[in-house]
Amino acid sequence: MFNLILFGPPGSGKGTQSEKLIAKYNFKHLSTGDLLRNEITRKTPLGLEAKKFMDKGQLVPDEVVIGMISSTLDNNPNVVGFLFDGFPRTATQAEALDKLLELKQQSINVMLALDVSEEELVKRLQKRGETSGRSDDNQQVIRTRILEYNKKTSPVADYYRKSKKAEMVKGEGTIEEIFKGLIKEIDSRIHKK
């Protein structure tokens, strides 16, 4: 298996690039944001609880997302690899992920971090807010999301740096250019195996 974390701040293009990577490599996409929005649409107790945090731009409690990831890993035993999008977002989540993968004799192969300036993030998310219908795509909540990222999520990169699994990738430019940068990093590692 080849397990990849696509890392980056809100609006850095994780979802956009995930779609393209899945089409190319057939990874199983695991976006905690999408999973949570699905719970909200279905009005499940988990969704209703998560919505309180998401509408404010705050992170949902660790145990909620870790539980979701754990069951999704169990439900997908025969995949070529997982593409984690928007997870892990805290040090606790990163440690929990390592433990869950270890139970399956698996590990993270690489963490690719999309590098995008704050100005560009705000521009992209405000633009998307005009049509997305996402309750967190408005100016005030966007600001909180970026603050949460800087405070709680950005340090997660250090966790992967320590094990030499982290790589920065250019996150500005055309979608195709960025995609090529990601492919280069993935292929150099897949082919080494």
Tell me the catalytic residues. Answer: 14, 89, 128, 134, 145
Least distance from C-beta 192 to ligand AP5, angstroms? 27
Residue 178 touching ligand AP5 (CB under 6 A): yes
DSSP H helical segments within 44-191, as ranges? Answer: 45-54, 62-74, 91-103, 118-129, 139-148, 156-162, 175-190
Cα separation, 191 vs 16, whole angstroms: 24
For 178, other C-beta atoms within 10 Å of its C-beta total 22
Calpha distance 169→98 (Å, rounded): 23
User: Using CB under 6 A, which of the segments 10-18, 21-29, 39-47, 98-106 binds ligand AP5?
Assistant: 10-18
Tell me the one-letter amino acid at 144. T
Supply the minimum distance, in Å, between the C-beta of residue 12 and Mg ion.
9
Regarding 60 and contact with ligand AP5 (CB under 6 A), the answer is: yes
Residue 129 interacting with Mg ion (CB under 5 A): no
70 is a site residue for ligand AP5 (CB under 6 A): no
Q: How far is the CB of 125 from ligand AP5 (least distance, A)?
A: 6
- Yes or no: say if 80 and 1 are a contact pair by the CB < 8 Å rule: yes
Q: Which does 145 bind (CB under 5 to 8 A by kind): ligand AP5, Mg ion, none?
A: ligand AP5
Do 106 and 80 form a contact (C-beta atoms < 8 A)? no
88 by DSSP, 3-state: which? Answer: coil
The Cα 189–Cα 166 span in angstroms is 12
- In the shown chain, the binding pattern of residues 5 to 44 toward Mg ion, with x for contact by CB under 5 A and - for none, equals ---------xx-----------------------------
Closest CA to 182 of 120, 117, 114: 114
32 binds, among ligand AP5, Mg ion, none (CB under 5 to 8 A by kind): ligand AP5
Residues that bind Mg ion (CB under 5 A): 14-15
Residues that bind ligand AP5 (CB under 6 A): 8, 10-16, 32-33, 36, 53-54, 57-60, 65, 86-87, 89, 93, 124, 128, 136, 145, 175, 178
